[in-house]
Structure 1
């Protein structure tokens, strides 16, 4: 193929290159694989089997691979649909001279096909990194990812309808935004410093969209984080000020928001939060418990994710006989205690739960959230250190590491601790598969697996696995 070029108003020196490509299989990270003259090109906004015209977004001659966005579809997949959000639609965005915003990179694909693509990614990672060819209970490697139905055990607490599972919109109870040089709410393009102004966030709940953050003058702010719990409790808007922003400017921004919204500043590097108005935390609810979550502390962003994940974990552990009154369990990378509280319910006052979290603010939240459960021991620190200092015989461990996974040293420590079972929660198929491989090398088995489409219209998914010693 001969590359074709086209001028671009945002490029001052050289016109970017466009290619016509046949889109190949999906790959981890939200793109598909294509090839041009032997070179691998990672293509976003395509579907396997399509013929497309792409704009190269990262194409150094010495690079091992290139990156590209689809700008025109020449032969469309039957699974292609009209994108629900103009700023994230690659075809429309590039037609207007700029890249699309990130965060909805699968929005051009039917929901059913999105889930098969995510299943293919998870299966490929498990096969390649953990040599998993067969799954327990006759699960199909090609159909692993489940849709999450609207509602759930806490739906009665909600003050607005649940998200529309049929469209995959309205599920985010938390959202993160950048700010344009002109002080308007915006979002970054993928792998870019370019910020595009936005006037809606269709993946977010109606409570977030009703704040109309795009109408604010955000001059002096670099980032905005917003949390609007689905239980109807008070929303929180966090502002990350630019260096030199005066308190008067921050107060002026806070005054533009409704009175029933808490407003605080935060430092993205340290996590430090300072009150401007109202609370510096939100109250979340799940599995019959309330949780205080301070600032930008971690909480599952899909409104039905907490109940879904708690249900999957406890079902695996209960059905296997690993969780019962009197059991000794651990919740590692425990956050504010989402899993710790239902684990404490299950083991009762005759059992014990060790809850370990490394982030200081989140660990303080866990102490507040679990203060009424004497069977829970809260430890702040790195998982590796706490496990060394507090060895014990565990019946079960819940492992919910960050995106990078647990890693070989932690996996080795867990194996040495000799638990009867580990329930592993993961948001990244690659690090999950790598860690499963470490467990299998030590003689452990993948005894159960569920994967959930908790992030519709993105390439992300959530996985819950049951790992047990022995074949």
Structure 2
């Protein structure tokens, strides 16, 4: 049986970045996933988790030979054993984007057998004060904070540098009941919305606001403040623009918008197909569908279905010219990809928030005759390991 290394400190040289906000090292034949380090660094790492398998997890507690990409984190609790909200505050912005690009490339290579160079594009606004939606949690003393990495322990905060000031100031100075979760949103007008979710469940309590105003895709939106919307203030408009450029739905045709949320991409598709076309918008969250119907009431060509995508596609026999999908973190999965490919669209535009899930679906599409023809990646979550990708698939026989 492998010796349990939990609490052990080892000196190691950090290897390549891996999916999940850590780098890979090897010590005595075992893989060590190291947080708070950068590739090429020599560090002392303290093992934080060891499940007795071929790998363990560790934090770099002392840097012996730093990378030239290392910087001082702007947040005092972005370190070993502290807040788990950020992964890469110790790396420069350019280095963060390079790390994320490497992860996307590695997942495509490993899971889809595809060599594809990736460049992660910066969004306007910088590395801090971009997060418009945050869920804080109150500790035993009633002070709000965020949980430690892979832990329920609450790290109390006086600030969160990646979160907008308005959202921070609406929550962190106030006392809360232990265990409360506090959702905060700052919308495009700068209005702050706060909802308290008591420990143990039960109905939430809206403390401030409730209906957010956002702007994207050439229109104003009124939405449930704590429903789905992009977290970065520039992300929705950027993604809508790219989706529109790649979808190119022709007037009078049919399009599908799967996992439609409040209808951001349905709005783009609805404008493209025009009054003589049809957009099937599928979303399982009732509030999002209600928001979508209200915001897109003038686009009668958008037809909403409030149900899981898998269930709706199971009974569809129409043949869309374009399909857009923005699945959850787990990806679309084989059943949905098979239904899309079986419908024979000319183009599939896939918005992905997880590189591994995207790569698995890339492989599935390839096996069904659809090849990846374009891919862009955006740093919609600076300081974290998350990255947003947009992928275009076209029939392999199209010759593009």
> If you compute each CA radius of gyration, which structure gives the higher value, 1 or 2?
1
Please state how far the C-alpha of 1:273 moved relative to its aligned partner.
Answer: 4.8
Question: 288, 302, 308: which one pairs with 2:218?
Answer: 288
* CA contact 1:238–1:295 (8 Å) conserved in 2: no
Which runs of structure 2 are paired with 1:215-364 in the superposition (5 Å)? Answer: 215-232=173-190, 234-243=191-200, 273=204, 276=206, 279-294=209-224, 296-318=226-248, 323-364=249-290
* CA contact 2:42–2:66 (8 Å) conserved in 1: yes
Match of 1:88 in 2: 78
Please state how far the C-alpha of 1:47 moved relative to its aligned partner.
Answer: 0.3
Q: Aligned partners of 2:303 and 2:374: how far apart in 1?
A: 28
Please state how far the C-alpha of 1:400 moved relative to its aligned partner.
Answer: 0.3
Please state how far the C-alpha of 1:295 moved relative to its aligned partner.
Answer: 5.1
Question: 70, 85, 91: which one pairs with 1:109?
Answer: 91
Please state how far the C-alpha of 1:375 moved relative to its aligned partner.
Answer: 0.6
TM-score by length of 2: 0.94
Please state how far the C-alpha of 1:209 moved relative to its aligned partner.
Answer: 2.9
Q: Aligned partners of 2:252 and 2:75: how far apart in 1?
A: 51
Match of 2:120 in 1: 145
* CA contact 2:289–2:304 (8 Å) conserved in 1: yes
The answer for unaligned runs of 5 or more in structure 2 is none
Question: 53, 70, 83: which one pairs with 2:60?
Answer: 70
Question: 303, 315, 319: which one pairs with 1:389?
Answer: 315
Q: Aligned partners of 1:210 and 1:222: how far apart in 2?
A: 17
* CA contact 2:138–2:176 (8 Å) conserved in 1: yes
Please state how far the C-alpha of 1:63 moved relative to its aligned partner.
Answer: 2.5
Please state how far the C-alpha of 1:230 moved relative to its aligned partner.
Answer: 2.3
Deviation sequence 1:189-216 (CA, Å, 0-9, x none): 11012111001111112322342x2211
* CA contact 1:427–1:460 (8 Å) conserved in 2: yes
Q: Could you say what secondary structure the match of 2:390 adopts?
A: strand
Q: Could you say what secondary structure the match of 1:339 adopts?
A: helix
Q: Aligned partners of 1:210 and 1:278: how far apart in 2?
A: 13
The answer for unaligned runs of 5 or more in structure 1 is 6-14, 91-98, 136-140, 151-162, 244-265
* CA contact 2:141–2:178 (8 Å) conserved in 1: no
Deviation sequence 1:40-76 (CA, Å, 0-9, x none): 110001000000011111024x233100111100000
- Cα root mean square deviation, aligned: 1.8
Q: Aligned partners of 1:280 and 1:146: how far apart in 2?
A: 32
Q: How many matched pairs?
A: 394
Please state how far the C-alpha of 1:278 moved relative to its aligned partner.
Answer: 5.8
Match of 1:57 in 2: 48
Match of 1:263 in 2: none
* CA contact 2:217–2:237 (8 Å) conserved in 1: yes
Match of 1:434 in 2: 360
Please state how far the C-alpha of 1:223 moved relative to its aligned partner.
Answer: 0.7
Question: 304, 311, 323: which one pairs with 1:378?
Answer: 304
- In the superposition, relative to structure 1, how do residues 280 and 49 fare at CA in structure 2: closer, same or farther (>3 Å)? same
Q: Aligned partners of 1:331 and 1:242: how far apart in 2?
A: 35
Please state how far the C-alpha of 1:277 moved relative to its aligned partner.
Answer: 5.3
* CA contact 1:325–1:351 (8 Å) conserved in 2: yes
* CA contact 1:173–1:230 (8 Å) conserved in 2: no
Q: Could you say what secondary structure the match of 1:215 adopts?
A: coil
| Pair 1:420 & 2:378 matched | no
Q: Could you say what secondary structure the match of 1:88 adopts?
A: coil
* CA contact 1:292–1:336 (8 Å) conserved in 2: no
- In the superposition, relative to structure 1, how do residues 391 and 279 fare at CA in structure 2: closer, same or farther (>3 Å)? farther
Match of 1:174 in 2: 133
